[in-house]
């Protein structure tokens, strides 16, 4: 799986744009075979995917678990993630990310974007 962290030179919109262009233009992967996930509270990433990829809402899956929120541990830098999945076709078993049968081989994560926008100061305090 490929991926990147963005630390300051650019952030969500540019990170999504760079990943999308590399995958669809440079690598030539068919955008119709792709789905993305976003952390369920990350409206900004959701809207950037609609704008940049032209995805409809059903191609952008909101995930409410730690699968889409990265942290170093109990304290430290943290932030929401957005993942890109490739659909290998219905001849393989498995459901979309976040579904009950997500562990099959049909949808495979090929990219992970981590947006380091918060600092977990204590267990109960994030800035």
Specify if 74 maps to a domain. yes
Specify if 37 maps to a domain. yes
Neighbours of 25 (CB within 10 A): 10
E strand intervals along 1-127: 2-6, 34-39, 60-63, 69-71, 76-87, 107-115, 118-122, 125-126
Specify if 123 maps to a domain. no
Write the pLDDT tens digit of every residue in 37-85. Answer: 999 999 999 999 999 999 999 999 999 877 889 888 889 998 999 999 9
Specify if 23 maps to a domain. no
Specify if 121 maps to a domain. no
pTM of this prediction? 0.90
Q: Residue 50's domain spans which residues?
A: 30-107
Specify if 116 maps to a domain. no
Q: How many domains does the chain have?
A: 1
């Amino acid at each position: 799986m490929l991926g990147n962290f963005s630390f300051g030179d650019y952030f969500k919109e540019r990170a999504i744009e760079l990943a999308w262009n590399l995958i669809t233009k440079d690598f030539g992967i068919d955008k119709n075979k792709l789905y993305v996930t976003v952390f369920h509270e990350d409206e900004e990433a959701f809207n950037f995917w609609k704008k940049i990829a032209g995805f409809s809402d059903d191609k952008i899956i909101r995930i409410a678990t730690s699968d889409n929120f990265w942290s170093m541990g109990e304290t430290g830098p943290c932030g929401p993630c957005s993942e890109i999945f490739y659909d290998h076709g219905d001849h393989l078993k498995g459901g979309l990310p976040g579904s009950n049968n997500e562990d099959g081989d049909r949808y495979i994560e090929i990219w992970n974007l981590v947006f380091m926008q918060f600092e977990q100061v204590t267990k109960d305090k994030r800035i």
